[in-house]
Chain A
């Protein structure tokens, strides 16, 4: 078990190095003078010089990489060109709304989708199964922002139950206001994941329900509930976890759109703003953080397999 965890964890290190290299080259290898790209069209020669110097562009490229990497390891992601604030500080300000929104969405997706998938598999071929499958096709095919606007129209404008937009931090304003503001964006964000996870749960459960040990459980006199949740669901778990993990990692795209629709000051909005302003240090920092999250989630999935399945644990 320990050596499995160690191997997986060590395997994540080279991945992060490669990501860092790409992020580094993103700026250095794009056509033209990086300093000119950063400074934009209206820059004066003095400004260009200053940028070249801060970026260390006069040094050999490998030295530049090592210096930059060293700064990253010390937690220095550079300074934003727009606001002159450290990139880390910018990201830290925006972290909470995004993370809390993403967590809420993933919890919502799992809580709704897994039972949906289990029931659909159990009542395979029935009306319930068909309804679940149709709903999930809808969840896939309707664009995220359309769902967002429909939700706003119904729950915020027509019924007036929830605010139209904006965000309250759970750390400052408390849980109640946070949930009131976060529920619609989370619903919007999770639609596609509910569809995805429900489908995967159903498919994986259908496979497992055909297995011999499920028949054994029935032969023992186990109730349907026990067979479904105690025997089948755990065995169906690996592919479901995989989808949840990847879904969580991919959520960043959904976050960008959702934060725009609901006007939430999170990392998604920061990304959009940074790209529009060609704020390279911020873009670099965001890519690094997002990739880091991807890698960490993948690591977490791998390790959770081992928790779930003793056969992986004792390899």
Chain B
């Protein structure tokens, strides 16, 4: 670890040194975003910058690259030194030369970070065209192919000539990494580079960054909100909050002995992979049941049929069976493309299932028409992933909350009174009724979305990644709220998530899906405690930070491991 490197021998000059950096908005009056932050990164070191949304961690990285959005943010004080170049003072030309050659950056969203109208090989090559003018076209092409090989992409010649939309998210992030590292920069800034990826892909990408870092001796400034990732990759950690550095420590010290309350809070809120104690079954009434549910996409097109081609169909979900009883929570877990959201949408009848049945309170709704479906719609309500887009910005909270009940014949006054009660239930003041969504934070909006769903007095709540867009501390609060509501109202919850530790916190039963089929289904304590299916195991092994019990500030005593000698697994939790 690099703190060893720093301790023995003369301390090497830092690659990046930030002193008293201040960034403010260019509005009047100027609002400070970064209030004088300090940190340095040693050669070959990985420094993680952690913090919740709004802490200023991304602004810090953009300030280093000189990419602060023009006209809205501006560095107003302090110094940023990259191996002796003062980045806030150099000319724009010099700054352009330094980018990619001495410092490079990869971003969060690989789906949008590449130019969709340019072949990916050409996009990597562009770096060489701009920074190494002496190379011939052949030499450039060879360099790019070599780099594609280094980021472990298969079939590199084909990838070279691909368009971005032909590659998966993980592959695109590999392209971004190849582009960033082709000139062997001294500093790599990675801004949430794996947040948009599945856990198994995330694991591969993190490993790749580590390997290349060791090979090229790169220093990495890694920005993330995920403590699990931090525990896995960091040498040192810098915790930020409200534009200030709260605490900087080597990783082990930070996880074991956080010195500030804020870090302590942050760690305590991290959900653990340990499944919660199973709850007693109080009610055996089945409220939602799926029987051999199937959803097939892509009926053969007319052209294909004319040409006599076989129909290209995708089975998004097949042979899905589950039963959800009153007051319980069933989690559907899986990576993108596993079919978990398809199941949720079929159950909600937002899309038509192509086979099987969905029973809500014993009544099969899978093939009901629009009118016949209406009385059953209110029994099953949904909470969506993104609270910033799931509430109509032009409607007051009150209007949003009463719209459903009024559609089902409740009087306006009654619905409004009920809405006020619900707001109190989800922990918001009554006067929120007259306000608009933009006046609330993400966590508050998700509470409103839950109240909106509850206003219909449903038997089942479908939560599709309902806490995935929230910061961990807010996530913990919202999960607590769901639990509380379930106890009070006895509503059953179908909880869709990609995050195993979130599932471990809230689910009684867990169903693991892969490529449209259920691979494992049972009590959460068994599925997440002693998984049997290889896919579930691979998910568990890919979960970041699975060695740590963050809220107890120590490593877990017993960790789920795949033992290399036998195929059995050592278990796990007591």
CB neighbours (8 Å) of A222 from chain B are 96, 126, 130
Mask: chain A, 173-200; 1 = CB below 8 Å from B; 0 = not: 0000000000000000000000000000
B109 proximal to A (CB < 8 A): yes
CB pair A213–B71 under 8 Å, yes or no, is: no
CB pair B116–A221 under 8 Å, yes or no, is: no
B45 to chain A, nearest CB (A): 21
Which of A28-36, A247-255, A277-285, A307-315 forms contacts with chain B?
A307-315
Between A and B, 19 residue pairs with Cβ closer than 8 Å are: A212-B109, A213-B112, A215-B67, A215-B107, A217-B115, A218-B65, A218-B99, A219-B67, A220-B126, A220-B127, A221-B97, A221-B98, A222-B126, A222-B130, A231-B118, A234-B117, A235-B117, A310-B117, A314-B163
B74 to chain A, nearest CB (A): 14
CB pair B116–A3 under 8 Å, yes or no, is: no
Find B116's partner among A124, A226, A309 (CB 8 Å cutoff).
A309
Give the CA-CA distance A213 to B165 in the complex, in Å: 13
In the complex formed, the residue of A with least CB distance to B114 is A213
B176 proximal to A (CB < 8 A): yes
In the complex formed, the residue of A with least CB distance to B116 is A311
In the complex formed, the residue of A with least CB distance to B104 is A219
A89 proximal to B (CB < 8 A): no
Question: Which residues between 135 and 190 of chain B lie within 8 Å of chain A, taking CB atoms?
Answer: 163, 165-166, 176, 179
Give the CA-CA distance A286 to B107 in the complex, in Å: 56
Find A221's partner among B115, B131, B166 (CB 8 Å cutoff).
B131
B100 proximal to A (CB < 8 A): yes
Mask: chain A, 220-233; 1 = CB below 8 Å from B; 0 = not: 11110010000100
Find A311's partner among B67, B97, B118, B163 (CB 8 Å cutoff).
B163
User: Given known contacts A221-B101, A309-B117, A311-B116, what 5 new A-B pairs fall within 8 Å (CB)?
Assistant: A213-B113, A219-B65, A220-B100, A220-B127, A231-B118
B303 proximal to A (CB < 8 A): yes
Give the CA-CA distance A272 to B414 in the complex, in Å: 67
A238 to chain B, nearest CB (A): 10
Count A/B pairs, Cβ under 8 Å. Answer: 72
Given contacts A220-B127, A221-B127, A310 and B99 within 8 Å (CB-CB): no
A59 proximal to B (CB < 8 A): no
In the complex formed, the residue of B with least CB distance to A222 is B130
Chain B residue total in the interface (Cβ 8 A): 30
B423 proximal to A (CB < 8 A): no
Mask: chain A, 114-152; 1 = CB below 8 Å from B; 0 = not: 000000000011000000000000000000000000000
B104 to chain A, nearest CB (A): 7
CB pair B163–A220 under 8 Å, yes or no, is: no
B105 proximal to A (CB < 8 A): yes
B172 to chain A, nearest CB (A): 11
Given contacts A125-B71, A219-B104, A235-B116, A310 and B130 within 8 Å (CB-CB): no
CB pair A216–B176 under 8 Å, yes or no, is: yes
A211 proximal to B (CB < 8 A): yes
CB pair B179–A220 under 8 Å, yes or no, is: yes
Given contacts A124-B71, A218-B99, A212 and B107 within 8 Å (CB-CB): yes
Which residues of A does B touch, CB under 8 Å? Answer: 3, 124-125, 211-213, 215-223, 226, 231, 234-235, 308-311, 314
CB pair A211–B96 under 8 Å, yes or no, is: no
Give the CA-CA distance A311 to B165 in the complex, in Å: 7
CB neighbours (8 Å) of B127 from chain A are 220-221
CB neighbours (8 Å) of B116 from chain A are 213, 235, 309-311
In the complex formed, the residue of A with least CB distance to B92 is A224
CB pair A212–B99 under 8 Å, yes or no, is: no
Give the CA-CA distance A308 to B163 in the complex, in Å: 13
Most buried by B among A217, A219, A222, A226: A219
Give the CA-CA distance A218 to B65 in the complex, in Å: 9
Give the CA-CA distance A167 to B305 in the complex, in Å: 56
CB pair A220–B130 under 8 Å, yes or no, is: yes
CB pair B303–A211 under 8 Å, yes or no, is: no
Give the CA-CA distance A212 to B107 in the complex, in Å: 8
Give the CA-CA distance A311 to B130 in the complex, in Å: 27
CB pair A219–B99 under 8 Å, yes or no, is: yes
CB pair B117–A221 under 8 Å, yes or no, is: no
Rank and list the top 3 A-B pairs by shortest CB-CB distance, nearest first: A221-B99, A212-B112, A213-B115
CB neighbours (8 Å) of B96 from chain A are 221-223
CB pair B163–A216 under 8 Å, yes or no, is: no
CB neighbours (8 Å) of A124 from chain B are 71
CB neighbours (8 Å) of A308 from chain B are 117
CB neighbours (8 Å) of A310 from chain B are 116-117, 163, 165
Give the CA-CA distance A234 to B116 in the complex, in Å: 10
A306 to chain B, nearest CB (A): 12
CB neighbours (8 Å) of B112 from chain A are 211-213
Give the CA-CA distance A221 to B100 in the complex, in Å: 6
CB neighbours (8 Å) of B165 from chain A are 310-311, 314
Give the CA-CA distance A220 to B112 in the complex, in Å: 15
Give the CA-CA distance A217 to B180 in the complex, in Å: 11
In the complex formed, the residue of B with least CB distance to A6 is B303
CB neighbours (8 Å) of A3 from chain B are 303
CB neighbours (8 Å) of A125 from chain B are 71
Give the CA-CA distance A309 to B115 in the complex, in Å: 11
CB pair B107–A216 under 8 Å, yes or no, is: yes
B159 to chain A, nearest CB (A): 15
Give the CA-CA distance A218 to B97 in the complex, in Å: 11
CB neighbours (8 Å) of B99 from chain A are 218-221
CB neighbours (8 Å) of A213 from chain B are 112-116
Give the CA-CA distance A220 to B98 in the complex, in Å: 9
Give the CA-CA distance A3 to B100 in the complex, in Å: 41
In the complex formed, the residue of B with least CB distance to A235 is B117
A23 to chain B, nearest CB (A): 31
Given contacts A213-B115, A235-B116, A311-B163, A219 and B105 within 8 Å (CB-CB): yes
CB neighbours (8 Å) of B179 from chain A are 216, 220
CB neighbours (8 Å) of B101 from chain A are 221
Most buried by B among A211, A217, A235, A309: A217
In the complex formed, the residue of A with least CB distance to B107 is A212
CB neighbours (8 Å) of B126 from chain A are 220, 222
In the complex formed, the residue of A with least CB distance to B182 is A220
In the complex formed, the residue of B with least CB distance to A308 is B117
Give the CA-CA distance A151 to B499 in the complex, in Å: 68
Give the CA-CA distance A3 to B307 in the complex, in Å: 12
In the complex formed, the residue of A with least CB distance to B307 is A3
